[in-house]
Amino acid sequence: MNFRFTKAEHLTLKKEFEKVFHEGKTFKDAKIVLYVTGNGLQYCRLGLVVSKKVGNAVRRNRAKRLLREVYRLNKHVLRPHVDIIAIPRHPFASDLKLADVEHGFRKLLLQINTAFAHDVFHQ
């Protein structure tokens, strides 16, 4: 199983971010919000947006690292090829462990699978 997370799997351009925000569907739980849209590529991509309300630079870095790690370890669950933007919600405690985030994130990924089942059929 591939646990790598290469450069190509990052969302980078401003255009791509705007497209996901505009056209994407949202999936939420208490800690995270995901914007998701199909991308027409052979793989999935992840972008991160962290508000200043989350905390200082150290806390924001910590939040990004946790989300990146969670995605890396669980992206094999995803079957459709989509672009995802993950946004940690405001009270995102800095002492969260990976396992605390992972459970909710997995659930959201399964929701995405059902929502985009049509696309998978086409691929």
Partner RNA sequence: AAAGUAGACAAGGCGGUCGUCGGUUCUCACUAUUCUUGAGAAUAGUAAGGAACGGGAGGAAAGUCCGAGCUCCAUAGGACGCGGUGCUCCGUAACGCGGAGUCCCGGCAACGGGAAGGAAAGUGCAACAGAAAAUAUACCGUCCCGGUUAUUUUAUGGGAUAAGGGUGAAAUGGCGGGGUCGUUUCCCUGUUGAAGACAUACAGGAACAGGCAUAGACUUAAUGUAAGAGCCCACCGCUCCGGUGGCGACAUCGGAGGCAUGGCAAACCCCACCGGGAGAAAGGCUAAAUAGGGAGGGAUGAAGUGGUCCGCUUCGUUAAUACCUCUGGGUAAGCCGUUUGAUCUCGCUGGCAACAACGAGACUAGAUAAAUGAUCGCCCAUGACAGAACUCGGCUUAUUGUCUGCUUAAAAA
Partner RNA sequence: GGCCCCAUCGUCUAGCCUGGUCUAGGACAACAGAUUUUCGAUCUGUGAACUGGGGUUCAAAUCCCCAUGGGGUCA
- Residues near RNA (CB under 7 A) are 3-8, 10-15, 17, 47-49, 56-58, 61-62, 64-66, 69, 72, 97-99
* Phi and psi based region of residue 41 (left: phi greater than 0; alpha: psi -120 to 50; beta: remaining): beta
Least CB distance from residue 42 to RNA, whole Å? Answer: 12
Least CB distance from residue 39 to RNA, whole Å? Answer: 14
C-beta closer to RNA: residue 96 or 115: 96
SS3 content of the chain, % helix, strand, coil (to 5): 50, 20, 30
Cα separation, 117 vs 92, in Å, equals 31
Q: Bridge partners of 34?
A: 27, 86
C-beta closer to RNA: residue 46 or 108: 46
DSSP state of 10: B
Least CB distance from residue 43 to RNA, whole Å? Answer: 11
Least CB distance from residue 60 to RNA, whole Å? Answer: 8
CA angle in degrees (0–180, nearest 5) for 44-23-21: 80
C-beta closer to RNA: residue 100 or 119: 100
C-beta closer to RNA: residue 4 or 90: 4
